[in-house]
Amino acid sequence: MNTAPEFAAYPVAPAPVYSRWLAWAVALLVLSGSAGVALGSFIEPRTAVVGGALAVLVWLLALLLRVLYVRFNRHNALCYAEAAQQAGEVWWKRHREKVALVESVLLGATCSTSQHGRRLFSPDHQPPAPAKTDEGQTLRLGQVFGKEVAERERNLAILLALQWQQQRTEDSAVEPLRCYWQGSMAAWQAFVEQMARC
């Protein structure tokens, strides 16, 4: 069976924890200030200030890259969700196409006449009881003979073609354009051959 497409959720990056980033900034400033004071006799104060400013700029750049990564990730997740929804809508649109019927005929073993059809769809209709055979439980039709399943399917398909020909009025110019078949290919071939003969 052709199933609707299912898409996994896009992996969303967690938002940055700004309190942690702020704590790192404070720690960076304290460390750079402490290093400037401790190493004040070895380096110039101007070099210590420039080093601290560079450390803060690196921190700001890292924070900016992290925020941009999260924003781009959220944008990609949104685009992915829209594309997945659109693909699902296209699939459902294609698989929910409406079919206009000029004339429809339901053929089946139990509906050889319109009275049988009315009886079949009445609320007090009881389904036939299946018979136990070597192949399992089956429903048998008296007009269809054969020992093997394939032979019975072919005979049933021929019977259906004959029933359709009997139910069809002579003045009807409507020819079947599409047939929806539920059965084996061999039975379908027998139905087509019998329809061509009719």
Query: What's the number of domains the chain is made of?
Result: 2
Burial state string for 59-89 with b = 16 or more CB within 10 A and e = fewer than 16: beeebeeeeeeeeebeeeeeeeeeebeeeee
Domain-ending residue, one of 30, 61, 95: 95
Judgement on whether residues 87 and 133 belong to the same structural domain of the protein = no
Q: Residue 87: inside a domain, yes or no?
A: yes
Judgement on whether residues 74 and 29 belong to the same structural domain of the protein = yes
Q: Residue 186: inside a domain, yes or no?
A: yes
Q: Write the DSSP string, 12-38.
A: PPPPP-HHHHHHHHHHHHHHHHHHHHH
Rounded percentage of the chain residues whose pLDDT exceeds 70: 78
pLDDT tens column, 54-98: 888 988 999 999 999 999 999 999 999 999 999 999 988 888 766
Judgement on whether residues 28 and 79 belong to the same structural domain of the protein = yes
Q: Residue 105: inside a domain, yes or no?
A: no
Tokens of 197: 């003969």
What is the maximum span of the chain, computed from C-alpha positions, in angstroms? 115
Q: Is the pLDDT of residue 162 over 90?
A: no
Domain-ending residue, one of 45, 68, 95: 95
Q: Which SS3 state, helix, strand or coil, does residue 1 take?
A: coil
Q: Residue 106: inside a domain, yes or no?
A: no
Judgement on whether residues 122 and 193 belong to the same structural domain of the protein = yes
Q: Residue 136: inside a domain, yes or no?
A: yes
Judgement on whether residues 120 and 179 belong to the same structural domain of the protein = yes
Residues in the chain, overall count: 198
Judgement on whether residues 131 and 77 belong to the same structural domain of the protein = no
Sign of CA dihedral 55, 57, 62, 67: positive
Partners of 131 in beta bridges = 138
- Cβ–Cβ < 8 Å for 187, 156: yes
How many whole angstroms separate alpha carbon 138 and alpha carbon 131? Answer: 5
Domain-ending residue, one of 37, 65, 95: 95
| Average confidence (pLDDT) over 147-167 | 80
Judgement on whether residues 49 and 124 belong to the same structural domain of the protein = no
Distance of CA 90 to the CA centre of its chain: 10
What is the residue range of 125's domain?
Answer: 114-197
Judgement on whether residues 128 and 190 belong to the same structural domain of the protein = yes
Q: Which candidate, 18, 117, 120, 102, places its Cα nearest to that of 66? A: 18
Q: Which SS3 state, helix, strand or coil, does residue 100 take?
A: coil
Judgement on whether residues 150 and 182 belong to the same structural domain of the protein = yes
**CA dist list (Å): 196 to 86, 166, 176, 180, 189:** 44, 14, 12, 17, 11
Q: What is the pLDDT of residue 2?
A: 72
pLDDT tens column, 9-56: 999 999 888 888 888 888 887 887 777 767 666 777 677 778 778 888
Judgement on whether residues 121 and 183 belong to the same structural domain of the protein = yes
- Cβ–Cβ < 8 Å for 103, 61: no
